[in-house]
Amino acid sequence: MNPKTETKLLRLRDFAFGMGLIALTWYGIGYLIDANAALVERLETTSVVVSEDASRSDFELKGAKASLYNFSYTYTVEGEEYEGSDSISSPLSIRERTLDGKELLTATAYYDPQDPADSYLEKPDTWFVEKIRTGIVVLLSLGSLAALFGNRESEEAERVKAKSAKQREQRATKYARISSSTLPENVNSMKDGNRYQGICGACETQTEVRLTKLKDSWFGICTKCYFSKDW
């Protein structure tokens, strides 16, 4: 197969592989997103009593100070009591006074009716997974396009290689013409690299030369020329 066609086919193969990965990523992560969306859809709300030992962790996000508040809380679903905990970005400040005068910190939480122990102080969102999916797909797309259209450098290198091989063949033809008059008569029984007295096809001096073969060209070349850039 001609090298250009081969290169094109390899590129198409890499491109198709990238496209396959994109499809897999899209549907694989899409499955997670759908599962998450179904969960968010069926969440129900309940009032929770928040424990007073909330903790706060401060950190920097893109140079701005931010805090996460970690709450634990209790709630009741269908007579069964559950404990939950969640970290949210804002403090809770809803206080209720109970009938016997006690003050409680309360909040609304979301829970999964299929698994009431699963609860959240803030409704979960799918944007994070969506962002990851978009990021991966964009990277894979760039990679696939690079496989299809990029890689100019190696294509250039291939062309240079092909060109120098062609030049070498042309040189061999010329050296064969120049050294043909002194090729030994028994050249057919000689091996590539055998030495004899004759004309060097490159520098055209009469000296000890080595028999050299490239494709259909047989010629003699002196050691100096053989190891120089002329050959």
Choosing from 202, 217, 219, 220, the residue that interacts with Zn ion (CB under 5 A) is 202
Q: What are phi and psi of 149, to 5 degrees?
A: -110, -20
- Using CB under 5 A as the binding rule, the residues of this chain from 203 to 222 that contact Zn ion are 203, 222
Choosing from 200, 210, 212, 217, the residue that interacts with Zn ion (CB under 5 A) is 200
Name the minimum Å distance from CB 203 to Zn ion.
Answer: 3
Q: Which stretch in 62-70, 86-94, 122-130, 196-204 sits in contact with Zn ion by CB under 5 A?
A: 196-204
Binding to Zn ion by CB under 5 A, coded x per residue (else -) over 27-66, reads ----------------------------------------
Name the minimum Å distance from CB 224 to Zn ion.
Answer: 6
Q: CA–CA separation, 70 vs 118, rounded Å?
A: 16
What's the half-sphere exposure (Cβ side, CA atoms, 13 Å) at 54? 21
199 binds Zn ion (CB under 5 A): no
Whether 48 and 75 have beta carbons less than 8 Å apart is answered as yes
Name the minimum Å distance from CB 195 to Zn ion.
Answer: 13
178 binds Zn ion (CB under 5 A): no
Residue 105 or 222 having the CB closest to Zn ion: 222
Whether 116 and 77 have beta carbons less than 8 Å apart is answered as yes
Q: Nearest 5 degrees, angle CA 23-CA 24-CA 27?
A: 85
Look up residue 39 and give its two tokens: 């969960």
Q: Which stretch in 9-17, 80-88, 178-186, 200-208 sits in contact with Zn ion by CB under 5 A?
A: 200-208
Name the minimum Å distance from CB 163 to Zn ion.
Answer: 24
Name the minimum Å distance from CB 198 to Zn ion.
Answer: 11
Q: Could you tell me where the beta strands, DSSP code E, fall in 51-102? A: 55-61, 64-77, 80-88, 95-97
Length of the chain: 231
Which residue bears the tokens 């909040």? 107
225 binds Zn ion (CB under 5 A): yes
Coil, strand or helix at 48 = strand
The binding site for Zn ion (CB under 5 A) comprises 200, 202-203, 222, 225
